[in-house]
A = this chain, B = another copy of it.
């Protein structure tokens, strides 16, 4: 028997559908009542979140909150009683209509930054600044772009896989003609959230692009004694300040006043399927977040240690990307400004393992150790880029 799938269109201009606030359960998709599946959408009100929408999707013991009005970013995820995400000083789910990315030297993006997973890209990502005659704002435009063609797909057979899809356009006449097809996959019995994105360059012409998956985690995974494990070939400091913290780059301190942020650049190391891994294990080693990613399009990893006070956003970013977090002008020489041909599609794969017990954490560490094997992870003491 062929697999069949129930489909729920949540938003589609083409089909004239906008479900707005709704909820559905397993039975609405023809599933057995004991399959843990629930989806709902709410429209937010008040402040700069007026008109923002939030989709809460529960599959198995995971509830993930997705923001369709912010490029299908992930606000947070909860598995059992463990929340994955962070506490930003920005509390609102800010509607892009209130964001001016050009503000304050290209830093307007920071007005809405509070998600667990923020896509940066795709015409450019990284720090604001001039490159080749164009002023690039922080981390590009995709996250401040609402999605269309939002669809939930529910497989009718075990393991009852559930996919949430949405399309985000990044288009500027003569400059950019990108469409991003996003897909989040959850499975009732699985601790994983899979992100499978396809970036298509609809132009006749080649273009350059950049993408960073800015994944951010605070307490309870982050805490004093939390530790990073990655599969890597090389780690280097982002700048002089990070160089001073190189010895403990993988260790997490308690919230520390005046810490600000240290950033480390990692050349990823993949397994036989080109998958690279990073794990942040909690102080107790009983919880962890594993970020696995496919290296063919995401060859490097940025570790953003923002170990400042809770009020400043005590958080670590585990960010696979085409590129590091530098302004694009620094990345041409690093060969980290890839080309997407006319009509070409690029695929991105990022998988979040929401690990909530010591066994899962242990298995992840074993896997990372196995992939690393005898390959040394060289520690470079000088910053990758000499910033002025």
Contact = CB atoms under 8 A, between A and B. Distances in A.
Interface of A: 11-13, 17-18, 44-51, 69, 88-92, 96-98, 100-105, 107-108, 110-111, 113-114, 133-135, 137, 145-150, 167-169, 171-175, 177, 202-205, 257, 308-309, 311-313, 342
A51 to B, nearest CB: 8
Scoring A98, A147, A172 by chain B CB atoms within 10 A of each residue's CB, the highest score goes to: A172
A100 to B, nearest CB: 6
A102 B105 contact: no
Nearest to A110: B173
Given A172-B111, A204-B257, A47 B313 contact: no
27 contacts: A12-B45, A13-B49, A18-B45, A46-B147, A47-B147, A47-B148, A47-B168, A48-B146, A90-B172, A90-B173, A92-B171, A98-B145, A100-B101, A100-B102, A102-B102, A102-B103, A103-B137, A105-B133, A110-B172, A110-B175, A113-B173, A114-B173, A174-B312, A174-B313, A177-B311, A204-B308, A205-B312
Given A96-B98, A100-B100, A113-B173, 9 more contacts: A46-B146, A89-B171, A90-B173, A101-B103, A105-B133, A110-B173, A110-B174, A203-B311, A204-B257
A114 B149 CA distance: 20
Nearest to A306: B174
A66 to B, nearest CB: 15
A169 B48 contact: yes
A227 to B, nearest CB: 25
Contacts of A257: 204
B48 A135 contact: no
A218 B137 CA distance: 33
A199 to B, nearest CB: 15
A89 B177 contact: yes
Nearest to A260: B174
A169 B111 CA distance: 10
A110 B177 CA distance: 11
Scoring A89, A114, A145 by chain B CB atoms within 10 A of each residue's CB, the highest score goes to: A89
Contacts of A312: 174, 203-205
A50 B146 contact: yes
A173 B313 contact: yes
Scoring A46, A49, A104, A148 by chain B CB atoms within 10 A of each residue's CB, the highest score goes to: A46
B91 A169 contact: yes
Contacts of A100: 100-102
Contacts of A137: 103
Given A46-B11, A46-B18, A47-B148, A135 B105 contact: yes
B309 A169 contact: no
Contacts of A96: 98
- The 7 A-B residue pairs with the shortest CB-CB distance, nearest first, are A46-B148, A47-B148, A97-B97, A204-B309, A110-B173, A13-B46, A18-B45
A203 B147 CA distance: 33
